[in-house]
Chains A and B, each alone.
Chain A
Amino acid sequence: MFKWLEKNLPKIVMAPAVGLIGWFVYGFVLWTLYISFTNSKILPKYELWGVGQYVKLWGSRKWLIAVDNLLIFTALFLIFCVVIGIILAIFLDQKIRAEGVLRTIYLYPMALSFIVTGTAWKWILNPTLGIQKMFIDWGFENFTFDWLVNREMAIYTIVIAGVWQSAGFVMALFLAGLRSVEDEIVKAAKIDGANLFTVYWKILLPMMRPVFFTSFVILVHISIKSYDLIVALTQGGPGISTTMPALYMTQTAFHKSQVGLSAASAMMMFMAVAAVIIPYLYSELRRENAR
Chain B
Amino acid sequence: MFLRWFLYFVLILFALYFIFPLYVMIVTSLKTMEEIRQGTLLTWPSGLNFDSWAVAWGGRGYGAGDTFLKPYFWNSIKMVVPAVFFSTFIGAMTGYVLTKWRFKGDQWVFLFLLFGCFIPFQAILLPMARTLGVLGISNSVIGLVLVHTVYGIPFTTLFFRNYYISVPTELVKAARIDGAGFFKIFFKILLPISAPIIVVTVIWQFTQIWNDFLFGSTFSFGEAAPIQVALNNMVLSSTSVKEYNVDMASAIIAGVPTLIVYVLAGKYFIRGLTSGAVKG
- A residues sitting closer than 8 Å to B (CB atoms) are 6, 9-11, 13-14, 16-18, 20-22, 24-25, 27-29, 31-32, 35, 44, 84, 87-88, 91-92, 94, 96, 102, 104-117, 119-124, 129-131, 133-134, 137-138, 164, 168-169, 172-173, 176, 217-218, 221-228, 231-232, 235, 245-246, 249-250, 253-254, 259, 262-263, 265-267, 269-270, 273-274, 277, 281, 285
In the complex, chain B residues whose CB is within 8 Å of the CB of A113 = 210-213, 228, 254-255, 258
Asked if B171 is an interface residue, CB under 8 A from chain A, the answer is no
Asked if B2 is an interface residue, CB under 8 A from chain A, the answer is: no
Complexed CA–CA distance, A228 and B94 (Å): 31
> Would you call the interface of chain B mostly helix, strand, loop, or mixed?
helix
Contact between chains at B280 and A88 (CB < 8 Å): no
Name 8 extra pairs, CB < 8 A, besides A9-B182, A164-B17: A13-B94, A13-B97, A104-B263, A107-B266, A114-B211, A120-B25, A228-B214, A266-B126
Q: How far is the CA of A227 from the CA of B120 in the complex (A)?
A: 11
Which residue of chain A lies nearest to B162 when distances are taken between CB atoms in the complex? A288
Residue pair B258, A112 in contact (C-beta under 8 Å): yes
Compute how far the CA of A110 lies from the CA of B208 in the bound complex, rounded to whole angstroms. 10
Q: Given the complex of chains A and B, what is the CA–CA distance between A173 and B37 in angstroms? A: 41
Is B121 located at the chain interface by the 8 A CB criterion?
yes
- Encoded as 1 (CB less than 8 Å from any A CB) or 0, chain B from 212 to 223 comes to 111001100000
B98 to chain A: which residues have CB within 8 Å? 14
Chain B residue contacts of A253, Cβ below 8 A = 125-126
Q: Output the residue of B8, B127, B211 with the most chain A CB within 10 A.
A: B127
Task: Determine if A24 and B151 form an interchain contact, defined as CB atoms under 8 angstroms apart.
Answer: yes
Interface residues of B in 217-260 (CB under 8 A from A): 217-218, 228, 231-232, 235-236, 244, 247-248, 250-252, 254-255, 258-259
Name 27 A/B residue pairs within 8 A (Cβ), A-sorted.
A6-B182, A14-B98, A20-B90, A21-B150, A24-B128, A25-B154, A87-B10, A88-B14, A106-B15, A111-B258, A112-B211, A115-B231, A116-B252, A124-B20, A134-B42, A137-B39, A172-B274, A217-B278, A225-B121, A245-B122, A246-B120, A246-B122, A253-B126, A267-B123, A270-B120, A270-B123, A277-B115
* Residue contact B40 to A133, C-beta cutoff 8 Å: yes
The chain B residue sitting closest to A267, CB to CB, is B123
Contacts A91-B7, A164-B17 hold; do A18 and B109 have CB atoms under 8 A apart?
yes
* Contact pick for B124, options A24, A96, A116, A227, CB 8 Å: A24
Give the distance in Å from the alpha carbon of A44 to the alpha carbon of B130 in the complex. 10
B residues neighboring A (CB under 8 Å): 7-8, 10-11, 14-15, 17-22, 24-25, 28, 36-37, 39-42, 90-91, 93-94, 96-98, 101, 103, 107, 109, 111-116, 118-128, 130, 150-151, 153-154, 157, 181-182, 207, 210-214, 217-218, 228, 231-232, 235-236, 244, 247-248, 250-252, 254-255, 258-259, 261-263, 266, 269-270, 273-274, 277-278, 280
Contacts of B37 in A (CB 8 A): 129
Q: Give Cα distance in the complex from A109 to B19, angstroms.
A: 9
Q: Is the CB of B109 within 8 A of A232?
A: no
Counting chain B CB atoms within 10 Å of each CB, the highest count among A21, A32, A44, A221 belongs to A21
Q: CB-CB < 8 A to A262: which residues of B?
A: 126
Instruction: Find out whether the CB atom of B211 lies under 8 angstroms from the CB atom of A10.
Output: no
CA distance A259 to B37 in the complex (A): 45
Q: How far is the CB of B148 from chain A (nearest CB, A)?
A: 11
* Cα of A11 to Cα of B106 in the assembled complex, Å: 10
CB-CB under 8 A from B212, the residues of chain A are 113
Cα distance A225–B211 when bound, in Å? 15
Residues in chain A near residue B25, CB distance under 8 A: 120, 123
Q: List residues of chain A with CB within 8 A of the CB of B150.
A: 20-21, 24
Min CB gap B238→A, angstroms: 12
Contacts of A270 in B (CB 8 A): 119-120, 122-123
B280 close to A225 (CB less than 8 A): yes
Q: Which residues of B contact A138 (CB under 8 A)?
A: 40
C-alpha spacing A270/B224, complex, angstroms: 29
- Is B41 in contact with A134, judged by CB distance below 8 angstroms? yes
Top-10 shortest CB links A-B: A225-B280, A113-B211, A10-B101, A111-B262, A134-B40, A28-B124, A116-B255, A228-B213, A266-B122, A28-B127
- B94 and A224 within 8 A (CB): no
Q: What residues of B have a CB within 8 angstroms of the CB of A27 in the complex?
A: 127
Partner of B103, one of A10, A246, A277: A10
